């Protein structure tokens, strides 16, 4: 894939699976730590760290042999929660302060109760103060239940 991307001028990004929502089958069958992928790639390619950023959580490397750039998104092996400033608002007015936790603020209820702009702002600020330090994701042979019940698609990326 690295060679193919290099020939066509594409970047490549991989991401570790996260334990969100119930799934059929064993999540261990889906989980491949990207530390292993990176080590295997380094047996064939020279990966040079680059400060390149897209605004997302990927850490990028330039691939010397192909000219491609490869990004790794590692919520499991090296989580990036310490620098996270994201919250997510669904189309139903639910504000999730973390992808990996269940806590949320129901802004639709606030709006439908006739809240003023100031009251709405206060509700948002209250929610932001509850933003957690990070997720508690675990994928191993003893932990089969998802860390959060909702699937990623409910919240968005
Ligand atoms: S798990 Fe939560 S704190 Fe960590 S990066 Fe995702 S949204 Fe941010």
The answer on 97 and 64 residing in a single domain is: no
Query: How many angstroms is it from 5 CA to the middle of ligand 1?
Result: 29
**106 is in which domain, residue-wise?**
85-132
Nearest of 65, 5, 13 to residue 38 by alpha carbon: 13
Task: Please tell me whether residues 68 and 9 are part of one structural domain.
Answer: yes
Contacts 24+ apart (CB under 8 A), 27-36: 27/139, 27/144, 28/139, 28/140, 28/141, 31/76, 31/139, 33/74, 33/76, 33/77, 34/72, 34/73, 34/74, 34/77, 35/74, 35/77, 35/78
Q: For position 3, what pLDDT does the model report? A: 86
**93 assigned to some structural domain:** yes
Choice from 96, 98, 139 to test ligand 1 binding pocket (greatest atom count within 8 A of CB) = 98
Residue 92: inside a domain: yes
65 and 122 part of one domain: no
Mean pLDDT of 86-111: 95
Question: Domain total for the chain?
Answer: 2
Q: Which atom of ligand 1 is nearest to the CA of 81?
A: 4
Question: Rounded to an integer, what distance in angstroms lies between the CA atom of residue 115 and that of residue 147?
Answer: 33
The predicted model scores a pTM of 0.85
Task: Confirm whether 65 is domain-assigned.
Answer: yes
Please state, for a pLDDT cut of 70, what percent of the chain lies above it: 99
Alpha carbon of 89 to ligand 1 centroid (Å)? 14
In this structure, the residue with its CA closest to atom 4 of ligand 1 is 81
**22 belongs to a structural domain:** yes
């Amino acid at each position: 894939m690295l060679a193919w991307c290099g020939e066509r001028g594409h970047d490549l990004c991989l991401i570790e699976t996260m334990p969100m929502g119930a799934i059929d089958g064993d999540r261990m069958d889906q989980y491949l730590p990207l530390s292993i992928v990176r080590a295997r790639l380094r047996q064939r390619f020279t990966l040079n760290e680059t400060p390149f950023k897209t605004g997302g959580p990927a850490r990028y490397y330039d691939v010397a042999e192909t000219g491609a750039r490869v990004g790794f998104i590692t919520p499991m092996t090296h989580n990036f929660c310490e620098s996270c400033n994201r919250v997510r608002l669904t189309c139903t007015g639910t504000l999730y302060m973390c992808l990996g936790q269940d806590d949320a603020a129901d802004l639709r209820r606030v709006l439908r109760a006739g809240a003023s702009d100031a009251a709405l702002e206060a509700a948002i600020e209250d929610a932001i103060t509850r933003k957690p330090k990070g997720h508690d994701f675990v994928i191993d042979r003893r932990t089969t239940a998802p860390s959060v019940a909702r699937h990623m698609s409910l919240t968005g990326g």
